[in-house]
Structure 1
Amino acid sequence: MARCLYNSTIREFLQLSPEALLGRFVNNYHGAALTTTNEAWANEIHIMQEVLQPWMDEDGQVIFEYDIPRLGKRIDVVLLLRGLIFCLEFKVGERDMLQSNIEQVLDYALDLKNFHLLSQNRIIVPILVPTRFRTSSSEFIPSVYDDSIYNPLVTGANGLQKLITDVLAHAGAIAPDPSLGADWIISPYSPTPTIIEAAKKLYESHSVEDITRHEADKVSTDRTIAYILNVIKTSREKGEKSICFVTGVPGAGKTLVGLDVAVKQSYQNGDKLVEDEGAVYLSGNGPLVAVLTEALAIDNQKKCKARGEKKNMSDSRREVGKFIQMIHRYRDNMLAKIKNPVENGELEIDPQKAMKLAKSGYGEVEHVAIFDEAQRSWTHKRLADYLKRGGTYGNKLKVPNFPYSEAAFLIWSLDQREDWATIVCLVGGGQEINTGEAGISEWIKALNEKFTHWQIYISDKLTEAEYAEGRVNELLADNNKVTFSPELHLGVSLRSFRAENLSAFVHSLLSFNPDASTWYNTIKERYPIVLTRDMTKARAWLRKNTRGSQRSGVLVSKAAARFKPLAVDILDQGDENAVHWFLEDKNDIRSSNFLEDAATEIQVQGLELDYTCVLWDADLRCENGQWRYYNFNGRTAWREEAGKTEGSLERRKYMLNAYRVLLTRARIGMVICVPEGNPNKTIGGFPEDATRLPEFYNGTYEYLKSIGLEEI
């Protein structure tokens, strides 16, 4: 059930009552299904039980809510019948045929064709079913893609049975075909050469340096890429498993290095694809993946239009998706292969849930996985709690007693390959910003305890305090598989000093190091950092300095609470909102340039703007030369986070790291706004707003001013 909500032979499906089937759906859906969802399932069950009557004795399969491997998309119903694959998208209660719905069902068919191994040489028939639609398609033609996919068909519920019958006759599928059976459900994710070639062309057509906004010296990034590719080559020749840890200050080009390795590993001989040696760039940062994907796709659209070529945006996004993916989907695809429940604290592959291939075994198709922001991988407790309840939203796999941290599980996943594998971890120092993010020590612990046969290549900068609390040498002292190399640190040249010096300044500022003033004086002429207590002045400064296509935006920590009096709103959650915020032009109110919606550290980590305003709220306060941490209760008061427990200490670290992220997002300059608060009193002599007292902010303002920040 891991890859779908329900599947069975057609006969079994028809023998069960609608009530029993709906009960199975609800039981397998690990979440609180809405009433409308239950009603939609009930309608789909009723329709399909009537439609499939003519084929009840054939070797067909019916599958509800099928998760396409690693793509995060679910098909309402898949019907495997006489060697054909029918993709059915239901719009229960609708009368009209909408173009967006047509594109949705065609996308499902294309995703299966391009990424689903057992669908690649099959005829695929996408059908849209607005249940109250009064007519049915009668013309059967190939889609414009010319790859055994039918042009999308449309029918109401009443015409679905006849439409399937007519398609079978048109395709010459007149006899039962048992070759397409239950194994289809556990088909591996496997991109076709066509989609890989398209992805490469799309990637190479864009200046990725502009998207990732890195400022690293090209010589430095090329040297790091070459070192990683050599580790991969050595691992392949020796049949070894290896892992590289790459460090770099914000803006030093870690994302660029990851994307370059993903592409160059697949194309080691110029334009010739190297079969079965691909790589994938994985990130747990949803906004980053969404923004990179959309930026590449938009640019590709513009270039195609300029050449007079027609291309759907969904095709461009699909091609980008070959190289750039969410790490959670990779993880979930591997989880779907394990024996569940887990016994004796050890993970085992269930041969009934996974297909074993010659070289990759039960692992994924790629030999190389690049994990961006590896320091943000989840602790064992957070991942185990998450899987125990079946995720935070519906149709997620429940795995009680899960024994591994996310880092250990990702190493285990690559370890399933029977030949060789390499993991590349891109590590940001001091940037764990969420409860349950393990930092780099969890990776080292997994390598020391569970994967002692893996070769470890590690940046010599990973020994510094921002990584694993400076304990890397101690943690690796007894591991004889370790090689330290300066090539795995992304240094920054003098002509692009901004990233390196800004990072040093922010580190000194947050740690109350006396050299903060020195660092500020070093960078202020070429990288202005100014201070204000007035958001109107902050906005005016940003608008004055932001020119041409440059971007500016307001940033706040996720713990910030009292920003509405300053006419600031928080950017809504959802990756699509981050896409609009980062990519829309200055005429669109959703753009960051409007300076109305502020993004949090969650939405901007890994991405940058040209100019930023960091709005410093009362969650982090400077008092008597130290930071004090506060959370707002949502109504009337701030509560100090001052406990001595491990959890409280961890939360304070994340709150400080949030400001580390916010203060390193600007490429050219920033303004820091520390509000004045509300000093007014009521007639009775009480504070007008006890949640914004001036003393909440004054200490921070005075500290920043003491460093020498110029006030505007």
Structure 2
Amino acid sequence: MTAYFSSSIKTFCHITPDEVSARLHAKYAADGFSSQYTTQTEAWNNTIPRLQEEFRALMREHPTASSWRVLLEYPLYRLRRRIDVLVLTPAALVVVELKVGESEFRSTDRRQVEEYALDLRDFHASSSGVSIVPLLWCTGASTTTYAPTTKPGDVAEVGLVGKTGVARIIGQIGLSQPVISYEINEWETGQYRPVPTVVDAATTLFAGHGVREIAQADATNLDASANRVVEIIKETQRNRSRSLIFLAGVPGSGKTLAGLQVVHNAVESGVEDRGDIVYLSGNTPLVVVLREALARDEAGRRKARGERGQLAEARNSVRTRIQHIIDFLREYLTSDDGSAPHEHVIVFDEAQRAWDEDYGKKKFGRPSSEPRLLLEIMGRHPDWCSIVALVGGGQEINAGENGIAEWGKALRELGADVLKSWSVYGPPNFVEGSEATAKLGAGSLSGVGSVKVDRDLELTVPLRSFRSPLLSQWVAAVLDGDAPSAAGLAEHLGDYPILVVRSLDCARNWLKDAARGERRFGLVASSGARRLRADGLGVTLNATDGSAIAQWYLNGRGDVRSSFALEVPANEYTTQGLELDFVGLCWGGDLVWDGDCWQYRQFRGNDWASVNGDRQRFVANSYRVLMTRGREGLVIWVPEGSEEDPTREPENLDWTARFLVSCGAKQCLEGDA
């Protein structure tokens, strides 16, 4: 990944502003933007001479600075933005956000430049261990505030620079900071390996970029899996046959991203040229957030290009690629002629949560499971079709969600003549079952045209918690009641903090302090944690309120409807498939430790009642979902309870907090947060 312009400071100061601008324009056009005169041109014309003036002053004061490097418009594909100015000094990277004519240091601009610095720290290989200093340079401001607060490998507090003094501060940073061993001239060749959120990934993919630009190098498994799925779809199309493709993965391994990449690759490679592929999900919050994020992004790009187009138009356009599974089924189950769907390919996310025939009868008046209905509808195509089922494990949270076994049952119910027209593809363990996929029963599918095992159809590396891929294993050990194993895993969680607090205010303060830049944070709680209302959390984010969900995940700081407000927690239904950077989990009375084992409960009437069987699994999986939503950190608030309230027994809550600490979570007292 290279900057639009890169040179030594000395060379930069000897080139005319027009030549620098011409180079920037060439790269700007090559990146897919208009090469005509734009507001960007005006910004460069104002910026370049001022930068050259400052750098000449820097070289006069510190001659050795002539060999330092200056990079202009350095792209960060995960953020879909570019760093204005990046200065590579022997001691630190200096990230500069330049606001020409601005006289006020706005908090949004501070967070923006801090986010740039954090992005380099977390995802740029050559920046590992290097001090990074973000500067906000407002050329109309009269004051300058900078104090060196960084240390090797960390990001400093944002320095505020007024109309004069940027050269002096950059010189101070480059010469006064402890010297870190990194090669200035080789820094640009370092790999940029971001781990995008599902929203970042979706907007970037649908804007025309590929997964290689936005996914970390360690996630080549994801890219290979998506490519393999598209190859199978092409084979199915050529052979005029039918294929059911299972792409499995551990929680947080990028299944949704892989599914979106399949849609993107299928379009790019010409598998479909008439809108023949669609991404489907039964996860209402995920569909709502992805649609709204894509629509906002598309509307923003149209505006930047000077095109007309309202947000409502953008919202309508994304519906053709991302649909709710219920809408898809309702359309084709209620058609009088039994016609085949327009799409030859469907990508069905969270296929392990497909509902059984009892729910099908209740929802559509037909005693058929969701897999059975999809196989029937797609099987109407006389030529070819493919179903791509994205499968996770340990995430069934509703009654009627029977996991991957429901798909095996649906296949066996097709009948011999139809069954032989289908080919089934999946990873090595999808036949016998495992933590990720459970008991498809493919071994008994003797009538299937073929069952093909493919190692590329399994995602094994968790990407969500990029600071510690062991998080899902730690959560599994905790929910299994295995404190020694959990404590052992906790020692290897690295930079992923897990804290236990007994005060909600303490949890809120920690989240605000931990989330620098534009990192998103929010509260989550189990839908069964009914007695949290006594502590002031009586309402959780409703899965049927699409507008509220979109605002919670996408709106910014200062908006009381957003997750940043820390007022309304999301639950397992409104977080599954989505993520935050830092999560505050509000522990409820539906899952408490009694000193020996977990107690699974449901609030009925005026008291808690124990649950058994599948209900225990649903409670555990609800917490599994909630505990794995955070990409960078987790704070768990366990309320203290009340001796006067039998529904909030302090003893059980105390046991729960102690057990989590014994699992390796760090206990944080209110004054420490």
So what's the TM-score if we normalise by structure 2? 0.64
- 2:511 is aligned to 542
Q: CA deviation at 1:458?
A: 0.7
Runs of 4+ in 1 over 4 A off after TM superposition: 200-203, 206-211, 213-216, 467-480, 493-499
Matched to 1:705, the amino acid is V
Unaligned segments of structure 1, at least 5 residues: 1-199, 338-352, 356-361, 388-398, 643-648, 680-687
Deviation at 1:333, TM superposition (A): 1.1
Check whether the contact 1:263–1:279 (CA below 8 A) recurs between aligned residues.
Answer: no
Cα pair distance change 1:496/1:529, threshold 3 Å: closer
Q: Secondary structure at the match of 2:247?
A: strand
Query: CA shift at 1:277, angstroms?
Result: 6.8
Partner in structure 2 of residue 457 of structure 1: 425
Please state if 1:653 is matched with 2:654: no
How big is each residue's C-alpha offset from its partner over 1:325-347, in whole Å with a ceiling of 9 and x where there is no partner? Answer: 0000111112113xxxxxxxxxx
Partner of 1:565, secondary structure, is helix
Report how far residue 496 of structure 1 moved.
7.4
Match status 1:689 vs 2:645: yes
How many matched pairs? 459
* Alpha-carbon distance change, 699 to 479 in structure 1, aligned in 2, over 3 angstroms: farther
CA contact (8 A) 2:463 2:469 kept: no
Measured against aligned partners, the alpha-carbon deviations of 1:204-252 in whole angstroms (never above 9, x if no partner) come to 32779799x9878442221001110111111111111111111122322
Instruction: Give 1:222's aligned residue.
Output: 223
**What residue number does 1:629 align with?**
600
Alignment of 1:354 with 2:354, yes or no, is no
Work out the CA distance in 2 between the residues paired with 1:662 and 1:495: 13
**Are residue 515 (structure 1) and residue 513 (structure 2) matched?**
no
State how far apart, in whole Å, the 1-side matches of 2:203 and 2:603 are.
Answer: 49
Q: Determine the structure 1 residue equivalent to 2:244.
A: 243
User: Does 2:576 match 1:605?
Assistant: yes
Partner of 1:309: 307
Measure the CA separation in 2 of the matches of 1:596 and 1:375: 32
Q: Does 1:263 align with 2:264?
A: yes
Q: Is the 8 A contact 1:455 1:482 kept in 2?
A: yes
- Of residues 300, 313, 334, the one that matches 2:332 is 334
What secondary structure does 1:434 align onto? coil
Distance in 2 (CA, whole Å) between partners of 1:289 and 1:571 is 15
Contact in 2 for aligned 1:619/1:631 (Cα 8 Å): yes
Q: Structure 1 residues 379 and 496, CA, compared in 2 at 3 Å: closer, same or farther? A: closer
**1:9-65 deviation per Cα after TM superposition (whole angstroms, max 9, x unaligned):** xxxxxxxxxxxxxxxxxxxxxxxxxxxxxxxxxxxxxxxxxxxxxxxxxxxxxxxxx
Give the C-alpha shift of residue 203 in structure 1. 5.2
CA distance in 2, matches of 1:492, 1:217: 8
Verify the 8 A CA contact 2:392 2:437 in the aligned structure 1.
no
| SS of structure 2 residue aligned to 1:652 | helix
Q: Report if aligned partners of 1:290, 1:575 keep a CA contact under 8 Å in 2.
A: yes
Counterpart selection for 1:588 from 550, 559, 577: 559
Distance 2:235 2:330 in 1: 29
Residue 498 of structure 1 and its aligned partner are, at CA, apart by: 4.5
**5 Å matches for 1:318-467?**
318-337=316-335, 353-354=336-337, 362-387=339-364, 399=365, 402-450=366-414, 452-453=419-420, 454-462=422-430, 463-467=432-436
Q: Contact between 1:370 and 1:425, CA under 8 Å: does it hold in 2?
A: yes
How far 1:480 moved relative to its partner? 6.8
Q: After alignment, is 600-609 or 438-447 more displaced?
A: 438-447
Map of 1:292 onto structure 2: 290
Distance, in Å, in 2 between the alignment partners of 1:658 and 1:519 is 21
Q: AA paired with 1:322?
A: T
Query: 1:445-594 alignment to 2 at 5 Å?
Result: 445-450=409-414, 452-453=419-420, 454-462=422-430, 463-467=432-436, 469=438, 472=441, 481-492=450-461, 498=467, 500-513=469-482, 514-523=484-493, 525-568=494-537, 569-572=539-542, 573-594=544-565
Identity %: 36
C-alpha distance 493-605 of structure 1, shift in aligned 2 (>3 A): closer
Which residues of 2 match residues 664-675 of structure 1 at below 5 A? 664-675=628-639
Partner of 1:117: none
1:651 is displaced (CA, Å) by 1.7
For residues 306 and 498 of structure 1, what CA distance do their matches in structure 2 show? Answer: 34
Q: How far is 1:471 from its partner?
A: 6.5
Note closer, same or farther for the CA distance 1:571–1:494 as it changes in structure 2 (3 Å cut).
Answer: closer
Change (3 A) 1:445 1:256: same
Structure 1 residue 698 displacement after superposition: 2.3
Q: 1:411 to 1:499 in 2, by over 3 A?
A: farther
TM-score (norm 1): 0.61
Report deviation, 1:534.
Answer: 1.3
Q: Give, in whole Å, the separation in 1 of the partners of 2:246 and 2:434.
A: 16
Q: Which amino acid aligns with 1:452?
A: L
1:621, 1:308 → 2: CA distance? 56
| Aligned equivalents of 2:478, 2:446: Cα separation in 1 | 32
CA offsets 1:48-90 (integer angstroms, 9 cap, x no match): xxxxxxxxxxxxxxxxxxxxxxxxxxxxxxxxxxxxxxxxxxx
Gaps of 5+ in 2: 1-201, 669-673
